Amino acid sequence: MLCSVHYIHSKGIIHRDLKLENFLFSDDSPDSKLKMIDFGLSKHFRFGELQHADAIGTPYTVAPEVFRGSYDERCDVWAIGVITYLLLSGDPPFGGCGGPEPLMTVRGNILKGSFAFDPPEIWSNVSSDARQFITSLLVTDPSNRPTAQGAQKSEWLRKMANKDHTFEEQALSDGNISKKQSNEILTFSLKGMSEMSIDDVLRSQQQQE
Contact 201, 190 (CB under 8 A): yes
Q: Which residue among the candidates 17, 72, 76, 91 is catalytic per the annotation?
A: 17
> What is the C-alpha to C-alpha distance for residues 56 and 44, in angstroms, rounded to an integer?
15
Of how many residues is the chain composed? 209
> What is the C-alpha to C-alpha distance for residues 94 and 82, in angstroms, rounded to an integer?
8
Annotated catalytic residue 17? yes
Contact 23, 37 (CB under 8 A): yes
Secondary structure (3-state) at 209: coil
Which amino acids are annotated catalytic? 17
